[in-house]
Amino acid sequence: MNNTPARNTKVMNRFDLTSRLVAKLKNEEAVVGGIGNTNFDLWAAGHRPQNFYMLGSMGLAFPIALGVALAQPKRRIFALEGDGSLLMQLGALSTIATLAPKNLTMVVMDNGVYQITGAQPTPGAVVADIVAIAIASGLGNSAWAADEDDFERLIDQSMSTAGPTLIGVRIDDKPGVGITRRDPVQIRERFMHGLGVREPL
Amino acid sequence: MAVAEEKTSPEISQEKSWHGIVLQSLKRNDISLVPYVPDRILTTLIKNLHADPFFTTFPTAREEEAVGIVSGAWMGGRRGAVLMQTSGFATLANVLASLAMPYQIPLILFVTERGTLGEFNYGQSLVCRTMRPVLDSLAMEHHTCTRLDEFEFICDRSIKQAITTQAPVALILSPLLTGGKTFDK
């Protein structure tokens, strides 16, 4: 198997893709944004009460989203994660494949670098194929998005698929557009309000 | 409290083992999601959790993954707890300090204690010495459970306190309670 980057995938932009995703959300879908740029761009795409922003715990966007998915099986959950973050927690893909929640869509923003720390390449940058890893972990509904239209098509498709979906997107090395307000308690509380778990005081 | 409940609840009085107390305490407090990274000591508890349809219980590849899962579940309105051994706890400093504590999530950890009272692996005994300093440095509530007669009280009260105060808790299950793991194989 040849995993060298001969992928027929356009290099896209994180903020643009995140905005396209958010524009599609009409049913109070939850979105979990991974550490750093991934949640900065989620914030910049327009805050929603159903967004959760991580301020640490690199690699846990998918596990956190899995927990939300298991708690609220009728709600669609999206999780946005970077390739460097995912490399920290590849085992989570197998856990998700085993539990097979029907309401979880995962997006991996793959730029091959740790953009936020100075754009150093990840260990997998040249050799690893995140979508192939996901498929081998048991996530059969995993695909690279060829371009923006294909990304939107895959997002739409995931909402009616009877199992978890993973979408890989190649992105450029641009930093996030905004900066999330770093107030963890308020982020968590607003998220719980957004999910209907609690009422505001 | 434990005595009073035994009189009123035949279901509880049948459960005199430490693992039976854990299972019943989880159930009584509506904690239904229980991911784990196993330990030999946890074998019976894990088997019984799997056998009980009330629980969604499954292994994760790493302990911090399980912490992420129950944290997400809490925010979605479902309660969880994580089972692990001492060396697994040692992988958690980052997630405790960056997720459970600052976001005020009532994370409930059950940690079977290796590394003391008859440990045969030097590495395990060193790992064990890092556990309480990490918990103390974060001012995270923890109890070392050594006696069966106190265990239901500690379990039930600690779970309720974690939830009502929105603060994590670790219950360390000593070999004095569980029998531990001995060098016999």
The answer, yes or no, to whether residue A173 has pLDDT greater than 60, is yes
Alpha-carbon gap: A197 to the closest alpha carbon of chain B (Å): 5
pTM beyond 0.90: yes
Q: Which phi and psi angles does A56 have, rounded to 5°?
A: 160, -160
Tens digits of residue pLDDT in A129-162: 999 999 999 999 999 999 999 999 999 999 999 9
Q: Rounded mean pLDDT of A178-182?
A: 95
ipTM: 0.96
pLDDT at B113: 98
More confident position, A104 or B10: A104
Q: Rounded mean pLDDT of A30-38?
A: 97
pLDDT at B45: 98
**Closest partner residue to A70 among B60, B73, B94, by Cβ?**
B73
Residues of B with Cβ-Cβ distance to A187 under 8 angstroms: 103
The answer, yes or no, to whether residue A188 has pLDDT greater than 80, is yes
CA B173/CA B154 separation, integer angstroms: 11
Q: Rounded mean pLDDT of A9-27?
A: 97
Contact A67 B105 (CB under 8 A): no
Tens digits of residue pLDDT in B96-135: 999 999 999 999 999 999 999 999 999 999 999 999 999 9
The answer, yes or no, to whether residue A1 has pLDDT greater than 80, is no
pLDDT at B185: 52
Contact B73 A192 (CB under 8 A): no
User: Do residues B60 and A95 touch, judged by C-beta distance below 8 A?
Assistant: yes
The answer, yes or no, to whether residue B182 has pLDDT greater than 80, is no
pLDDT at B8: 44
DSSP string covering A3-64: -SS------B-HHHHHHHHHHT--S--EEEE-TTHHHHHHHHT---TTEEE-SS-TT-HHHH
Q: Rounded mean pLDDT of A50-75?
A: 98
Please count the other Cβ atoms lying within 10 Å of the Cβ belonging to residue A155: 20
CA A67/CA B95 separation, integer angstroms: 15
- Show the CA angle centred on residue B83, arms to residues B82 and B84, nearest 5°: 120
pLDDT at B184: 63
In this complex, is the C-beta atom of A64 within 8 Å of any C-beta atom belonging to chain B? Answer: yes
Q: Rounded mean pLDDT of B74-100?
A: 98
Alpha-carbon gap: B14 to the closest alpha carbon of chain A (Å): 30
* CA-based nearest residue to A17, from A57, A44, A48: A44
Tens digits of residue pLDDT in B131-157: 999 999 999 999 999 999 999 999 999
The answer, yes or no, to whether residue B10 has pLDDT greater than 90, is no
Mean pLDDT of all residues belonging to chain A: 95
Q: Rounded mean pLDDT of B51-64?
A: 98
pLDDT at B7: 44
Contact B78 A92 (CB under 8 A): no
Helices (H) and strands (E) in chain B, counts: 10, 7
Contact B71 A67 (CB under 8 A): yes
First to last CA, chain B: 40
Tokens representing B27 are 């159930």
Nearest CA in chain A to B69: A67
